[in-house]
Amino acid sequence: MKQTVCELEFYDAFRKIRPDNFSAIGLHLLWQYFEDYEEVTGDEIELDVIAICCEYSEAHISEIADDYGIEIDADGLDEDEALEKIYEEVRDYLQEHTTIVGESGETFVYADF
């Protein structure tokens, strides 16, 4: 038996079980991703908060670069240029290795790998 949930119920399920896994923006990106996936494939997604938290992450670009050992040469760049370089390198790395669910500013939501 499946139950259809709205976006607010989706948020509430995470806030109840895993309140610190995703920001409100991260949850919105996940919601949109799952909605789009269902529409394109016709497959329904089961709302399993624990499984989603194990399969997806939300992190700042510097954290992703550190976690995955992404080497970025930002020598000679000013702060804005260095940040842009990190962003581009992290985005390229994620695109090569996994699925990017969405992004907001300097933060990505992506499928773990």
Q: What are 68-103's pLDDT values in tens digits?
A: 999 888 788 888 898 999 999 999 999 999 999 999
> Cβ neighbours of residue 45 under 8 Å, at least 6 residues apart?
34, 37, 38
pLDDT at 74: 78
Check whether residue 44 and residue 7 sit in a common domain.
yes
Quote the pTM value.
0.90
Specify if 111 maps to a domain: no
Strand partners of residue 104: 107
Range of the domain at 50: 1-58
Residue with tokens 């996936």: 37
Check whether residue 44 and residue 64 sit in a common domain.
no
Q: What are 44-67's pLDDT values in tens digits?
A: 999 999 999 999 999 999 999 999
Q: Name the strand (E) or helix (H) holding 47.
A: none
Q: Which two tokens stand for residue 30?
A: 């996940």
Pair 68, 93: CB distance under 8 Å? yes
- Quick one: DSSP state of residue 74? -
pLDDT at 1: 60
Q: Which two tokens stand for residue 108?
A: 């990505």
Specify if 76 maps to a domain: yes
Residue 35, amino acid: E
Q: What are 14-50's pLDDT values in tens digits?
A: 999 999 999 999 999 999 999 999 999 999 999 999 9
